[in-house]
A = this chain, B = another copy of it.
């Protein structure tokens, strides 16, 4: 039975929850599930461990989940809330004395290169600095025995990259965040996956993110085993909102672990 072990490192929007200086009831909530760092997912395959996005909170997320191994990083897009922990991957280079393989679409990679120039074009190689092995995504690729199918998702004037992960020909995970919708090609790619992760901001519509209603409809169309919602803003109180989920859908929270297994 092929499987992936998922850890939701972060499940929040760009400002996280609580938001600085906000005294709304969710930002003041004592429910730890309302405490959301910026969205990121750790995926442990039997052969390799990889992460999707490195938010500013990445060091904290690694410490919290006691992550001491990382074999690759995939990026959805180059907005700050998804990449500003990039340099903290240096530690995984140091521990294994290796370059970190990173995967991103062409536009995302060019932004990463612009922002983290020193790591892409280092004047000198230091053992404890971030060393990269950049891979611009052109189509499906392998991470060890895991096949990764990238798909394009609309996010305002730009596109983000969604990812569908399979092992032994079984779809184990589709990860679609920061998108205004999930177009047909991406729906087909994800159809029947064991686990679907979808970005769902809040109840109210938003020009570049799906809201709950759109996420529920998208999940129903993809018909996965289970759906987990991420990229949640401070309008979402976990305890209240979890009672309003569509069938098969649930809210993710920081630290949630899910085993994605398909027989």
Q: Which A residues are closer than 8 A to B by beta carbons?
A: 14-16, 18-21, 56-60, 62-63, 67-69, 80-81, 84-88, 90-92, 95, 114-117
Closest B residue to A91 by beta carbon equals B20
| Residues of the B chain whose Cβ atoms lie less than 8 Å from the Cβ of A86 | 80
Copies in the complex: 2
CA distance A41 to B116 in the complex (A): 24
Contact between chains at A20 and B88 (CB < 8 Å): yes
CA distance A116 to B56 in the complex (A): 14
The 4 closest A-B pairs by CB, nearest first: A21-B68, A80-B87, A20-B91, A84-B84
CA distance A69 to B21 in the complex (A): 8
Given A15-B59, A21-B68, A56-B85, 12 new contacts (CB under 8 A) = A15-B88, A19-B91, A20-B59, A20-B62, A20-B63, A20-B92, A21-B62, A21-B67, A56-B59, A80-B116, A84-B84, A115-B115
Contact between chains at A84 and B87 (CB < 8 Å): yes
